[in-house]
Structure 1
Amino acid sequence: MKTSTSLTKIALQKFKKNFWGVFSFAFLVVCVLVAIFAYSLAPDASQNANQMHLAIHSKAPGFTTKMLTIPSEFKQENSFNSFFFGKKSAATEIPINSYSLNNGKLQITEYTSDGTDGLEKEFDVSVFPEGTSLQDIPKRYISEKKFLLGTDKYGRDLLSRMLIGIRISLAIGFVAVFISLLIGISLGAIAGYFGGKIDAAIMWVINVTWSIPTLLLVIAITLALGKGFWQVFIAVGLTMWVEVARVVRGQVMGVKQMQYVTAARALGYTDFRIITKHILPNAMAPVIIISAANFAGAILIESGLSFLGIGAQPPVPSLGGIIKDHYAYIILGKPYLAIIPGLAIMSLVTAFMLIGNALRDALDVRN
């Protein structure tokens, strides 16, 4: 039996033996798939899952009610856009207590939570698509709807908001880590390779940025760029590159003393080729570990910004924004409205931290 000598294969084998690392990786793969297919999985497929039913606000998980669906009058939308961004012209839903068919019209009594008689309304057959008879309306457009995680204070489906909120958190994590790696690796490699005045100048920038509290720096950048979804991407990414740059600089300073780097210089290779082809590939192990921690940090920072009201703006669902809207409900007898998104944030952050720990153990050459 042959023993593998590839460092990559050895690290992969060690990672597979780490139960929590593998479990966290599988959990994050599921979360990524959920984020990609969020609008296909969400019961409320309207854009940003923003279908409001004020009559059924703040209901507990598992709440069920009759729902009348009135089709949209707009033309059919592009299926690709609907798949990734939701339906702009989603059907209107009305919670009802009861209905009847009288005088060629559909008569409904709207839902009330206190047991009193709700508002009565009538709908003509013309409201529904052509060819629909009065007797077909209850079968096709009235159904029992169950809210698995309940509804928020605006009567929106909390499960749908959570699924799209996970997409927001993961997207900001990916983009923020990408920006931080791009800046951090570039500056760290330049500082470590060339040294001297270039190193001193870059280290001055790193130390100044490092001395500013992360959340304050993110708030300042966000206020400068403006409130919004894409601004948060940039703001979080611009504050997470410092640690990457410091680690890459230290790794490059050590690797550039190796004999194969000296041989590459003797062969006349350019500095750019030496850095990208010979030094960085052998200095990336710690960066991979830091990236996992930065991913978790990006999710926490975005949640904090949304909680403060300067992150993703309504009606875009964000896990931090959902907590902001409902943290007062913790003392009002409905703590699940804030606890559920809090558990989602905790699960995502914990998964990334466990993967980081597993990667650290797998890439540790001393083991």
Structure 2
Amino acid sequence: MKTATSLTGIALQKFKKNFWGVFSFGFLIVCVLLAIFAYALAPDNSVNANQMHLSIHSKNPGFDVLMLTIPAKVQNQNSLSIFFFGRKNVDTEIPISKYIIRDRGVEITEYTPDGTAGLQKEYPLSLFPEAKSAKEISTKYIAEKRFLLGTDKYGRDLLSRMLIGIRISLAIGFVAVFISLVIGISLGAIAGYYGGKIDAAIMWLINVTWSIPTLLLVIAITLALGKGFWQVFIAVGLTMWVEVARVVRGQVLGVKQMQYVTAARALGYRDYRIILRHILPNSMAPVIIISAANFASAILIESGLSFLGIGAQPPIPSWGGIIKDHYAYIILGKPYLALIPGLAIMSLVTAFMLIGNALRDAMDVRG
């Protein structure tokens, strides 16, 4: 068995020995796969999983009901678009309690939550293009549909909304961390390398930004940019660069005194080459750990913004938005409507924090 001698190899071996770090990493891989295949896995693959059935709202997990599907007009949409963005032309789905096949169509009794007789309607055979006779309507267009996590207050499939909501949480974390790394590393490296008035000016900006509460600053930026999906990404990213900049500045202040940096200057290398190729690669260990924590913070901030109504706007499914819609149900006898997305947020954030702790232990040279 070969023993790793490089610092990266040693850190990787130490990380593999950390059970919770490896477990959390595997959990995140599963979440990423669920986000990629969300529409393929979701029972409701309409855009934003927004197929509403008001007659079956707020049903318990495992609820099933007969569903009559009336197909919509077929629109040209390629399979790749459906895979990533969902079906644009959704069929009309009607929950029913019973049906009778007639000569010219089907007569249904709509489902009612209180068990009373619902409205009776008749739909002609012409609405069902793939049914050659009225008998085929029952086999091709009527089926029992089960909602594994129940339905929300609008009768939408909660499982589908949760699966697509993973995309929002992971996307906000990735984009926000990327923006914070670009700004934080750039300003921190410039401040630490050049020092003097440049360092003083950047540190003044860092201290001013640091003194403003994060959530308040995010709300202000969001209101200035407008409510929306991408605005939240930018707002969160613009508030998370401060800690990165401070850490990078401190690392650069120490690394730039090393002999190999002095040698690079003596050879006449330009400053940007020294920073990019010699200083930053040896300063990234703490930044990687901070990025994991910032990823978790970004998810929490986005959930908070969605709960306040200024995050991802309906009908885009967001875990924070789902909690906002159903937090009152905690005292109305259906707490799972708010607890399910809450547990999902907690699990994802905990996974990132455990990975951050594992990376910290793995990169600790004293260990």
Common fold by TM > 0.5: yes
Corresponding position of 1:354: 354
**Matched residues in 2 for 1:92 and 1:253: separation?**
63
Of the structure 1 ranges 77-86 and 53-62, higher mean CA displacement relative to structure 2 is found in: 77-86
**Matched residues in 1 for 2:118 and 2:243: separation?**
59
Q: Structure 1 segments of 4 or more deviating over 3 A?
A: none
1:138-217 to 2 correspondences below 5 Å: 138-217=138-217
Corresponding position of 1:250: 250
- Give the 3-state SS of the residue equivalent to 2:146 in structure 1: strand
1:118-133 to 2 correspondences below 5 Å: 118-130=118-130, 132-133=132-133
Q: CA deviation at 1:179?
A: 0.2
**Matched residues in 1 for 2:75 and 2:139: separation?**
23
Q: Amino acid of the residue matched to residue 228 of structure 2?
A: G
CA separation of 1:2/1:326 partners in 2, compared to 1, >3 Å: closer, same or farther?
closer
Corresponding position of 1:6: 6
Native 8 Å contact 2:102 2:134 kept in 1: no
Asked if 1:42 corresponds to 2:46, the answer is no
Q: CA deviation at 1:29?
A: 0.3
Q: CA deviation at 1:2?
A: 4.5
Relative to the length of structure 2, the TM-score reads 0.99
Tell me the number of residue pairs that the alignment of Structure 1 and Structure 2 aligns.
367
Q: Amino acid of the residue matched to residue 138 of structure 2?
A: P
- Give the 3-state SS of the residue equivalent to 1:34 in structure 2: helix
**Matched residues in 1 for 2:133 and 2:240: separation?**
60
1:1-367 to 2 correspondences below 5 Å: 2-130=2-130, 132-367=132-367
Q: CA deviation at 1:247?
A: 0.2
**Matched residues in 2 for 1:2 and 1:267: separation?**
37
Native 8 Å contact 2:131 2:137 kept in 1: no
- Give the 3-state SS of the residue equivalent to 1:223 in structure 2: helix
Relative to the length of structure 1, the TM-score reads 0.99
**Matched residues in 2 for 1:247 and 1:132: separation?**
70
For residues 139-188 of structure 1, the C-alpha deviation after alignment (integer angstroms, 9 at most, x for no partner) is 11111111000000000000000001111110010000000000000000
Q: CA deviation at 1:199?
A: 0.2
Native 8 Å contact 2:105 2:125 kept in 1: yes
- Give the 3-state SS of the residue equivalent to 2:322 in structure 1: helix
Native 8 Å contact 2:131 2:140 kept in 1: no
Residue ranges of structure 1 left out of the alignment (5+ in a row): none
For residues 120-141 of structure 1, the C-alpha deviation after alignment (integer angstroms, 9 at most, x for no partner) is 1111111011553211111111
CA separation of 1:232/1:334 partners in 2, compared to 1, >3 Å: closer, same or farther?
same
Structure 1 vs Structure 2: percent identity of aligned residues? Answer: 81
Residue ranges of structure 2 left out of the alignment (5+ in a row): none
Native 8 Å contact 2:46 2:90 kept in 1: yes
**Matched residues in 2 for 1:2 and 1:176: separation?**
39
**Matched residues in 1 for 2:23 and 2:199: separation?**
41
**Matched residues in 1 for 2:351 and 2:305: separation?**
21
Native 8 Å contact 2:96 2:108 kept in 1: yes
Q: Amino acid of the residue matched to residue 53 of structure 2?
A: H
**Matched residues in 2 for 1:115 and 1:131: separation?**
30
**Matched residues in 1 for 2:340 and 2:307: separation?**
15
| Cα RMSD, aligned residues only | 0.8
